[in-house]
Structure 1
Amino acid sequence: MDTIWQKQQISGEGPKYKRVIRLIRAAIDSGELAVGARLPPVRELAWQLEITPGTVARAYGALTDEGLLLAEVGRGTFVAPSRTEVLDDVWSQPAAPGEPNVVSLFSPRLPDAGQGEAIRAALVQIARGPVEGLLNYPTRDAYRPVRQAVVDWLADLPLGALVEEDVVLAHGGQSAITLVMQAALRGPKPVILVEDLSYAGFRRAAEIMRAEVVGVAMDAQGVLPDALEHAAKTSGAQLFCTTPEVQNPTGGQTSHERRKAVVAVARRLGLGILEDDCYGLARPRVPSYRALMPGNTWHVSSISKSLTPALRFGYALAPTGRSADLRRVAEYGFFGLAYPVAELARILLTDPGTRRIAERSRARIGDYVEVAVNALGGFELQWDREVPFVWLHLPPGWRAAGFCRAAENQGVLIRSADEFALRDGRAPHAVRIAVNGQVGLRAFEAAMLRLRMLLDNPPEQISV
């Protein structure tokens, strides 16, 4: 095979990257490069051909986009199978025993990295513990150890000063968002601001509060500060709701500089910030809004994306001096969490083994993300190994609604960008594909390849 990669093989007219493309295409057509053959690394081939690495990378990229090559994260670049071969291999084979024919990628689902057994053991411990907790109403003093467990769990995060009195327990992250809105919003018709593409739970909580929702222009880092200021001034908004650590649905992150600019706007206008960190699986790389503006930032999260969504255990952190307001809303609304749930959370969060479980789960999610990138990386894809979903911009010929219908027909359920936009907003032709760690990697890869085949074969007429 080394005889293919000779300098004289790319002599001739035209840009050098196109000559490399012709060389590789001819080798594939002749059979010198068989399906699955690994091409030399970019720098190695550049040295052999006496050209720049950028020229080789451009040729590889063009052939990958064309579908002749397949770039696999961490492994290299390979000759891709033909579309017919992939279809025969993936679509014609029956699912392995226990693997689903329909794969739901609507919302992230965690793999069992040991949390199932840990929860069972904790339930046994609760059942064998003092009976008083199972017979009485929950009280603030009784749940102090639970709140302290939350503080200790969050100790490594850049949240600013935090004590257990700042913590209010909730029935999951969505419940915590609703509690914050009840505590923060005032007047007969309050207004909240969200990014043009944002977590739908913000809008649902606002609907309960009879609050108006106003979308704000954004870019890859999240909200644009100038647009935020204009929207806040013209609408009289009281609260800006955002997911800065892992922007939902795009997976982006708001940089430190952008956060400081947003905080400057919020301080000038007295605008509160609600930051949702439910998707923050790893240590944040920049200070939170709560650390930057402790006097008017509400922080919510849960264990749904790190351990399990089944317990419905979340929490809200109040701004400095506002914990009584938040606590009052929770106590008036539901008195407190059920004792078995609260105690179960305390046991899990204080067990050193739980962090290791969360780390194993995060690593496993990264494996699924890598599979998605290997299958779909030839398209415009936003991803991070520690984010349990990817954001795919669709190629020409596809619109989001039509692509989701086509994917469903192939047994893959995904979310359209429309589900993250306001009713009167405009959504890009994009979809969010969540990791489902409860199906095997083989089934997940098959789902990704089904999506790849759809992307490679858009309909003759644009779907609407």
Structure 2
Amino acid sequence: MDDVRFVGGVEVVGGGGGAAAPVAAAPVPGFAGRVTAVQGSPVRDILAVTSRPEVVNFAGGLPAPELFDTEGVAAAYRNVLAESAGRALQYATTEGEPVLREALAARYRARGLPTGADDVLVTTGSQQALSLLATALVDPGDVVLVEDPCYLAALQVFRLAGARVVAVPGDEGGVDPDALEELVARTRAKLFYTVPTFQNPTGRTLPTERRAAVAAVAARLGLWIVEDDPYGELRFEGERLPWIAAHPGAEDRTALLGSFSKVMAPGLRLGWLRAPAGLRRACAVAKQAADLHTPTVNQLAAARYLADRDLDAHVARVAAAYRERRDAMLAGLPDALPEGSTWNRPEGGMFLWARLPSSYDTTALLPRVVEQDVAYVPGAPFYAGEPDRATLRLCFVTQAPEEIREGLRRLGKGLGPGL
């Protein structure tokens, strides 16, 4: 008598005791369209290629590891685990540990922005905050306005959410508020994303009057503002500018993002968002679905660090070292880049933006440059629209000044006469 069995819901008939005839497996369903439509990060791809220790890497936005307060962070973890291990290793609320939220709120209040602990949601890096905001605010087909060029991972987040991403024209001072107003009116955009202080990738800073104008446009036309501020504390010179969130008209429509990645350590994966109550609650729901909560032990260690150490003094030491490295890069660029190139002089942050003569394509040139054991990020991926292929981003904080000088020598050799 034949054996009758079911394999994957399909009836298979085989001879008694004999092996069943092989059944061809059906292909698995395809991936979601949002994943196949969005490319991976060229920055992450470049980092994988340039991880060799001999490479001078101007590509990654990597804080200098030798400047981490390793002992201070280690002591914070030791104290937390010694005094409250049960709490530190336990589940926590989605919104974040109250002691850390209050410490973050106090830092905003000290800088003139009224903030309570309940205004803050702790996230697993500020990148997660951006993802939560996209989940909470963006439906497929919604228009999201961004700077031109724009932080690359923000473009990924909004595109994964199904947004139609549109770049707002600007100049060396940043976004043009008049162009922003015209685009909001024409496209009925839902939100505008900006890194107004020491922007990634350009390093530029939006002047105070334009910040006020952006807030006024949002209030007048109905627009969410996502103000990303991972670099603002890394100021080398000049006066600190008020956040857009502090300007009249922006109070009830701005999500302000912060992070410990650039001022403490990126491996902690600690960020946060300060937002109006309704938006904050929506982001908390999205976070519940994403990861329940940010690791408790990391939150408590950060709060303990803020209580025991002087973070502002640490940041001042880091900023002084970064200023020296920026100056080393600025001093070497005239000999490293082709004649006719231009670049900016950021007042802080981590990045410098350069443009080569129009005959140069920095994407096509990158493999030749990497052969010289140095790397940068081509500018093209940072554009939501038509890219400027002669541009590139240089990170000046990861290497010491002497390494920067050697890296620029290699860069000049790799760029050569162009293509």
Range of TM-score over shorter length:
0.7 to 0.9
2:402 aligned to 427, 437, 442, which one?
442
SS at match of 1:390: strand
**Gap regions ≥5 residues in structure 2:** 1-51, 336-340
The alpha-carbon deviation at position 135 of structure 1 amounts to 5.0
Q: Percent of counterpart pairs with the same letter? A: 27
In structure 1, what is the equivalent of residue 240 of structure 2? 285
In structure 2, what is the equivalent of residue 12 of structure 1? none
The alpha-carbon deviation at position 223 of structure 1 amounts to 1.6
2:226 aligned to 266, 270, 274, which one?
274
In structure 2, what is the equivalent of residue 338 of structure 1? 295
In structure 2, what is the equivalent of residue 55 of structure 1? none
The alpha-carbon deviation at position 205 of structure 1 amounts to 1.2
1-structure distance, mates of 2:172, 2:72: 38
Which runs of 4 or more aligned residues in structure 1 lie more than 4 Å from their structure 2 counterparts after TM superposition? none
In structure 1, what is the equivalent of residue 387 of structure 2? 426
Q: 1:123 to 1:211 in 2, by over 3 A?
A: same
TM-score (norm 2): 0.79
1:310 aligned to 262, 267, 270, which one?
267
In structure 2, what is the equivalent of residue 23 of structure 1? none
The alpha-carbon deviation at position 263 of structure 1 amounts to 1.9
1-structure distance, mates of 2:287, 2:317: 33
Where does 1:103-118 land on structure 2 (aligned, <5 Å)?
Answer: 103-111=56-64, 112-118=66-72
SS at match of 1:433: strand
1:165 aligned to 118, 125, 139, which one?
118
Q: Deviations over 1:125-170 (max 9, x none)?
A: 1221223214532026971111011122334435x32111110000
In structure 2, what is the equivalent of residue 177 of structure 1? 130
2-structure distance, mates of 1:376, 1:349: 38
The alpha-carbon deviation at position 386 of structure 1 amounts to 2.2
1:417 aligns with 2:369: no
1:392 aligns with 2:347: no
The alpha-carbon deviation at position 382 of structure 1 amounts to 0.9
Q: Deviations over 1:159-213 (max 9, x none)?
A: x32111110000111111111222333x443221112210012111113322221
TM-score (norm 1): 0.72
Q: Deviations over 1:373-424 (max 9, x none)?
A: 11014652212252212111113652222332332121111101112112x4
Aligned letter for 2:80?
A: I
1-structure distance, mates of 2:369, 2:110: 40
In structure 2, what is the equivalent of residue 324 of structure 1? 281
Q: RMSD in angstroms over aligned alpha carbons?
A: 2.3
The alpha-carbon deviation at position 216 of structure 1 amounts to 1.6
Q: 1:392 to 1:188 in 2, by over 3 A?
A: closer
Aligned letter for 1:443?
A: E
Aligned residues: 357
2-structure distance, mates of 1:103, 1:250: 20
Aligned letter for 1:129?
A: E
2-structure distance, mates of 1:208, 1:104: 28
Q: 1:124 to 1:377 in 2, by over 3 A?
A: same
Where does 1:115-154 land on structure 2 (aligned, <5 Å)?
Answer: 115-139=69-93, 143-154=97-108
**Gap regions ≥5 residues in structure 1:** 1-98
Q: 1:147 to 1:444 in 2, by over 3 A?
A: same
In structure 2, what is the equivalent of residue 210 of structure 1? 162
Aligned letter for 1:189?
A: G
Q: 1:157 to 1:183 in 2, by over 3 A?
A: farther
SS at match of 2:84: coil
Aligned letter for 1:178?
A: S
2-structure distance, mates of 1:340, 1:135: 6
